[in-house]
Chain A
Amino acid sequence: MENLLEINNVVKKYGDFTALNDVSLHIPKGSVFGLLGPNGAGKTSLIRIINQITMPDSGSIILDGEALAPHHTAQIGYLPEERGLYKSMKVGEQALYLAQLKGLSKSEAKKRLKYWFEKFDISAWWGKKIEELSKGMAQKVQFIVTVMHNPKLLIFDEPFSGFDPINAQLIAKEILQLRDEGATIIFSTHRMESVEEMCDEIALIDKSNKILDGKLDDIKREFRTHTFQVGLNTSNPKEVESALQSNFEVFPADFKLLGNELTLNVKLNKTDSANDLLSFLTSRGEVQHFVELIPSANDIFIQAVNKNN
């Protein structure tokens, strides 16, 4: 797949401190790309470089086949983690101002804002000052301001913070729709469940270095442990358990079922297949539950970061 954004060997230093150490990322067109990492890992530094707020000390950045240049700011939309708007400025004027700074003409900006304000059902806020709005309301305005110039690349830093679950869902839906309409999205968050829901690819940055990247599915495959959750109805659980232990690695269950079945986590040996385990189980009783334990984004995050330390 073609890449919208290519970050090649980027280094950024602040005095003696290295914020980014030779980081390279390739972000495919039309994907939701999860940029993950612990606090202070260097994510914000990288995002600021993509936004041309700061310049890298070395390395190159290619946006849609061109070296990143000042005129590209009109093709990027950025929702920073620390939100903010002019408090005493009116919503409409402010949105128009920010849209014009992104290169839209005044009339075009008005048209698009009208569309978004109607879509979010907030047209009544046009003449209000930001300081009169609640935090959630201001966040909606900020979201609109981020996306209204139809950028090729959208960067969302913790987009759901400050939203209630209903509005968070609304925003998530909008983000996915923007992707379907052709935008490429960089999505930085600490909420791993939303990474699972939304991201096609991820990269993990820790201590200024990229320690992991690729398609989320591939990474999960890489991190899979071939462990299965097993639930079995049997008359003799003790005997079945010890028989399992002699053939497989067995751990106590980390899940619950509704009945009184024998529940275990079973890890296959390298030579075994899932069918070997399944046929063993069916010969001993009635299989109620049989699911491969796929590592969550959360598990992968914790494992990878711990390993890096």
Chain B
Amino acid sequence: MSKLKLIIQREFITKVRNKSFIVMTFLSPLIMVGMGFLVYFLMQKNDEKVKKIVYVDNSGLFSKDDFKDTKTIHYTDYTALGIEETKKKVEAGNYYGALIIPKKDSLELLAKSIEFYSKDSPGMSVMNSIENKIERKLRNEKLNNFRIDIDKINASRIQSDIKMYNFSGEESSKLINGLKIGVGAIAGYFLMMFVMIYGTSVMRSVIEEKTSRIIEVIVSSVKPFQLMLGKIIGNASAGLLQFFIWGVILFILITVASSVFGVDVVEMQSSRVPAEQLEMAKQATGGGKGQLILQEILRLPILKIFVLFIFYFLGGYMLYSSLFAAVGAAVDNETDTQQFMLPIMLPLILGVYVGFATVINDPHGSIAVLFSHIPFTSPIVMLMRVPFGVSWYELAISMALLLVTFVFMVWLAAKIYRVGILMYGKKPTYKDLYKWLKYKG
């Protein structure tokens, strides 16, 4: 068996046998699914509590029909009680809040002088809902004043749902845009986490060889470059295995959970999408929103996303883990790594921030395009863009740049690694690292 293969095998087995790997692999999907259910459960509970709101209408414009009870808000007319008494009742804690509608000469004036009193600050959704009701009523009043038939207005209202297409024939909607953002963001974020976790794992493994002093025995049998490469590949294989196991576990768990508890998994996922869009989508198809989302997910280029995910995963990981390996070789113990870690972490974190800030607004904007070509941020930013459709030549350029940079960085890191693994004592400075680059053989 070749030496590189032996090293990969050892690194892989050591990593996979490690207790923390086993715990991470089998526990984290459980935790993730558990958290999902918990959040869902809490959201349901949170909304369940009915908010009782009383109103005092001195204008005489509003009736109970204008304040229809909803699932979560109940309205009661306290006009007869008077403003002061009503406020007192609310202060005593029996009600969520009191809406005070004074009598004013004009509708415009009235619209600006309605007040809401509550013990605690009211939630945004509650206020929006009340404001909507008032605005609708006042608008209708105004239309009445202009002698315009409200029924005609309502009848003339028409809903347009523009179907968006790109030239590869993909149909899209606002809903699917939301989904794309979600899928891209999760993929990009995952990639950053993976690079950090497995990169530091490579670094630790290098430091371990250095502190245990076995390194000199090993490099008398193999080339330092082989050792570094074997380490990187071995750890990456362990990472891929972990992902594979996660995929299988998640699939099983979700299938089991949704059938046992009768929870609509698709509905859970949809809570990310704004309600308004869902409403529109529902009208557009007439079907259930769960069914719709499923359809939309299936319309995403899932295979393409998956393949590119693996590619950028490996490319980004290789690029960064070679740097992590060089850092591990340069220092004697983990506490000394910090000064070298910052410049490695920075572009990773920048990638995630730039991705979240630009891709969501405009996936093909100039900043998003630029950062999806810079090799240090491209794995993250490009993954975020991929669900929106990226032309093949852009992908090709970005991937080629990543590959070239990866080869260059591994070469550079190997130079530092080769010298660093045999250096003990003084913590090296950046100047030292530069000097090491110039050492011969």
Bind each other? yes
Known: A14-B439, A100-B6, A101-B3. A53 touches B213 (CB 8 A): no
Please tell me which one of the listed residues A55, A73, A85, A97 contacts residue B212 in the complex, with CB atoms under 8 A apart.
Answer: A85
Q: Is A98 an interface residue (CB 8 A)?
A: yes
Q: Which residues of A contact B80 (CB under 8 A)?
A: none
Hey, what's the 0/1 contact readout for A88-110 against B, CB within 8 Å counting as 1?
11000000011011100000000
Please tell me which one of the listed residues B1, B216, B221, B439 contacts residue A80 in the complex, with CB atoms under 8 A apart.
Answer: B216
Known: A89-B14, A97-B10, A100-B6. A53 touches B220 (CB 8 A): yes
Is B216 touching A100 in the complex (CB atoms < 8 A)? Answer: no
Taking CB atoms and an 8 Å cut-off, the chain A residues in 108-151 that contact chain B are 142, 145
A56 to B208, CA, bound (A): 28
Q: Which residues of A contact B440 (CB under 8 A)?
A: 55, 57
Q: Which residues of A contact B6 (CB under 8 A)?
A: 97, 100-101
Is A55 touching B441 in the complex (CB atoms < 8 A)? Answer: yes
Q: Which residues of A contact B215 (CB under 8 A)?
A: 84
Q: Is A51 an interface residue (CB 8 A)?
A: yes
Q: Which residues of B contact A83 (CB under 8 A)?
A: 213
Q: Is A70 an interface residue (CB 8 A)?
A: yes
Is A84 touching B216 in the complex (CB atoms < 8 A)? Answer: yes
Q: Is A76 an interface residue (CB 8 A)?
A: yes
Least CB separation from B9: chain A residue: A97
Q: Which residues of A contact B220 (CB under 8 A)?
A: 51-53, 73, 76, 78, 80
A142 to B216, CA, bound (A): 12
A57 to B214, CA, bound (A): 26
Q: Is B104 an interface residue (CB 8 A)?
A: no
Shortest distance from the beta carbon of B419 to any chain A beta carbon, whole Å? 9
Least CB separation from A78: chain B residue: B220
Q: Is B218 an interface residue (CB 8 A)?
A: yes
Hey, what's the 0/1 contact readout for A45-78 against B, CB within 8 Å counting as 1?
0001001111111000000000000100100101
Q: Which residues of A contact B249 (CB under 8 A)?
A: none
Shortest distance from the beta carbon of B180 to any chain A beta carbon, whole Å? 45
Q: Is A224 an interface residue (CB 8 A)?
A: no
Please tell me which one of the listed residues A53, A55, A56, A89 contacts residue B216 in the complex, with CB atoms under 8 A apart.
Answer: A53
A84 to B216, CA, bound (A): 8
Q: Which residues of A contact B214 (CB under 8 A)?
A: 84-86
A87 to B439, CA, bound (A): 31
Least CB separation from A149: chain B residue: B221
Q: Which residues of A contact B357 (CB under 8 A)?
A: none
Q: Is B307 an interface residue (CB 8 A)?
A: no
Least CB separation from A70: chain B residue: B223
A87 to B6, CA, bound (A): 18
Known: A82-B216, A89-B14, A97-B10. A102 touches B221 (CB 8 A): yes
Q: Is A15 an interface residue (CB 8 A)?
A: yes
Is B435 touching A15 in the complex (CB atoms < 8 A)? Answer: yes
Least CB separation from B227: chain A residue: A101
A34 to B422, CA, bound (A): 24
Shortest distance from the beta carbon of A75 to any chain B beta carbon, whole Å? 11
Please tell me which one of the listed residues B213, B422, B438 contacts residue A48 in the complex, with CB atoms under 8 A apart.
Answer: B422
* Chain A residues touching B, majority SS: loop
Q: Is B219 an interface residue (CB 8 A)?
A: yes
Taking CB atoms and an 8 Å cut-off, the chain A residues in 197-212 that contact chain B are none
Shortest distance from the beta carbon of A65 to any chain B beta carbon, whole Å? 21
Shortest distance from the beta carbon of B85 to any chain A beta carbon, whole Å? 75
Least CB separation from B218: chain A residue: A101
Please tell me which one of the listed residues B208, B217, B223, B441 contacts residue A98 in the complex, with CB atoms under 8 A apart.
Answer: B217
A51 to B441, CA, bound (A): 13
Q: Which residues of B contact A70 (CB under 8 A)?
A: 223
Taking CB atoms and an 8 Å cut-off, the chain B residues in 193-246 that contact chain A are 208-209, 212-223
Known: A54-B441, A55-B441. A98 touches B212 (CB 8 A): no
Least CB separation from A142: chain B residue: B217
Is B221 touching A73 in the complex (CB atoms < 8 A)? Answer: yes
Q: Which residues of A contact B218 (CB under 8 A)?
A: 98, 101
A97 to B422, CA, bound (A): 21
A82 to B223, CA, bound (A): 19
A254 to B140, CA, bound (A): 124
Is A84 touching B213 in the complex (CB atoms < 8 A)? Answer: yes
Is A84 touching B212 in the complex (CB atoms < 8 A)? Answer: yes
Least CB separation from B212: chain A residue: A84
A101 to B227, CA, bound (A): 11
Q: Which residues of A contact B439 (CB under 8 A)?
A: 14-15
A14 to B440, CA, bound (A): 8
Least CB separation from A82: chain B residue: B213
Is A80 touching B213 in the complex (CB atoms < 8 A)? Answer: yes
Q: Which residues of B contact A101 (CB under 8 A)?
A: 3, 6-7, 218, 221-222
Shortest distance from the beta carbon of A178 to any chain B beta carbon, whole Å? 17
A57 to B438, CA, bound (A): 13
Least CB separation from B10: chain A residue: A97
Q: Which residues of B contact A73 (CB under 8 A)?
A: 220-222
Least CB separation from A51: chain B residue: B220
Q: Which residues of A contact B3 (CB under 8 A)?
A: 101
A15 to B423, CA, bound (A): 14
Is B216 touching A145 in the complex (CB atoms < 8 A)? Answer: no
Q: Which residues of B contact A15 (CB under 8 A)?
A: 435, 438-439
Shortest distance from the beta carbon of A54 to any chain B beta carbon, whole Å? 6
Hey, what's the 0/1 contact readout for A193-233 against B, CB within 8 Å counting as 1?
00000000000000000000000000000000000000000
Taking CB atoms and an 8 Å cut-off, the chain A residues in 3-19 that contact chain B are 14-15
Is A86 touching B221 in the complex (CB atoms < 8 A)? Answer: no
Known: A14-B439, A55-B440, A101-B222. A87 touches B216 (CB 8 A): no
Shortest distance from the beta carbon of B126 to any chain A beta carbon, whole Å? 58
Least CB separation from A106: chain B residue: B1
Least CB separation from B224: chain A residue: A53
Q: Which residues of A contact B208 (CB under 8 A)?
A: 86-87
Known: A76-B220, A78-B217. A86 touches B1 (CB 8 A): no
Q: Which residues of B contact A142 (CB under 8 A)?
A: 217
Shortest distance from the beta carbon of B383 to any chain A beta carbon, whole Å? 35
Known: A53-B219, A57-B440, A76-B220. A86 touches B435 (CB 8 A): no
Known: A53-B220, A80-B217, A98-B217. A87 touches B212 (CB 8 A): yes
Shortest distance from the beta carbon of B399 to any chain A beta carbon, whole Å? 33
Q: Which residues of A contact B422 (CB under 8 A)?
A: 48, 53-54
A56 to B439, CA, bound (A): 11
| Minimum-distance CB pairs A-B, first 6 | A55-B441, A84-B213, A84-B214, A101-B221, A51-B220, A80-B216
Q: Apart from A78-B216, A97-B6, list 5 A-B contacts with CB within 8 A.
A: A48-B422, A78-B217, A84-B214, A98-B217, A101-B218
Q: List 6 A-B contacts (CB under 8 A).
A: A55-B440, A78-B216, A80-B217, A86-B212, A100-B1, A145-B217
Q: List the interface of chain A (C-beta within 8 A of B).
A: 14-15, 48, 51-57, 70, 73, 76, 78, 80, 82-89, 97-98, 100-102, 142, 145
